[in-house]
Amino acid sequence: MSQIIAPYITTWSAEQEIPSRVVERPGYGVGYADELLGDRDAHGVLWQRPAVRHEAGRPEFGKVHPLRQRRAMRKLLCQVCAGPANQNDDGVLWLLRDFQGDWPNWPEGMACTEPPVCVPCVAISLRLCPALRRGAVAVRVRASEVAGVRGALYRRGVFGPVAAQDVNLAYDDPSIRWVVASALIRELRGCTLVPLTELTEQYDAVQAR
């Protein structure tokens, strides 16, 4: 594996959002004044317009690139190296912050914006990600339907639409017409927690061959 400087989904300093004027589309919701065909996904939802200059400048850790996150979630790619996420009979592998106290059987039913991972990148993530060092859980997920988006919800304003709040919305929610999306959501179902030591030992065994 090549040296990983920053996760695939990380935004780099040269990838600033392209200035775009958000306008109301009467009877539809929001759009861009100079909207292009690629600005919406297959469900008709409007997306942020970041520049795409991967590895140009410096990585902005903690800031996720919307288009790379969307690609990794759609194709179930590892969020760190962009290779295929690990998958076995128990499901696709996710590495998440530990919020087991949030509800019984967490993360069952969770609306997740974090793409999955491969086994080699588990150790890298645990070592380099400050958030995961505060507590991490590996999860096998049998079903992860693409369910909606996270983004800025707009409201009508005096001079045009105004961003009101960040929200998670399902694709069948009528309010999604007023969202500029920044992340794709998968709903995690059929979740099984996996000991982190099992994954690190599995990786070490492969490396030792």
DSSP letters along 158-191, please? TTS-EEEEEEEEETT-GGGGGEEEEEEEEEEEEE
5 domain residue, yes or no: no
Please tell me the distance from the alpha carbon of residue 163 to that of residue 151, in angstroms, as a whole number: 10
And the tokens for 78? 């590892």
CB atoms within 10 A of CB 13: 12
Q: What is the pLDDT of residue 18?
A: 87
152 domain residue, yes or no: yes
- pLDDT less than 50: residues of the chain: 1
Structural domain boundaries enclosing 103: 10-208
Q: Which residues pair with 139 in a beta bridge?
A: 94, 193
Closest to 174 (Cα-Cα) out of 29, 2, 24: 29
CB atoms within 10 A of CB 34: 9
90 domain residue, yes or no: yes
Helix residue ranges per DSSP H, 38-194: 66-75, 119-128, 130-133
* 86: Cβ contacts below 8 Å, ≥ 6 apart: 78, 92, 93, 116, 117, 118, 119
Q: How many domains does the chain have?
A: 1
Q: What is the largest CA-CA distance in the chain?
A: 66
Please tell me the distance from the alpha carbon of residue 46 to that of residue 74, in angstroms, as a whole number: 16
204 domain residue, yes or no: yes
132-170: b (≥16 Cβ within 10 Å) or e: beeebbbbbbeebebbbbbbbbbeeeeeebebeeebbbe
For the chain, the straight-line distance linking the first and the last C-alpha, in angstroms and rounded, comes to 15
Position 163, amino acid? A
3 domain residue, yes or no: no
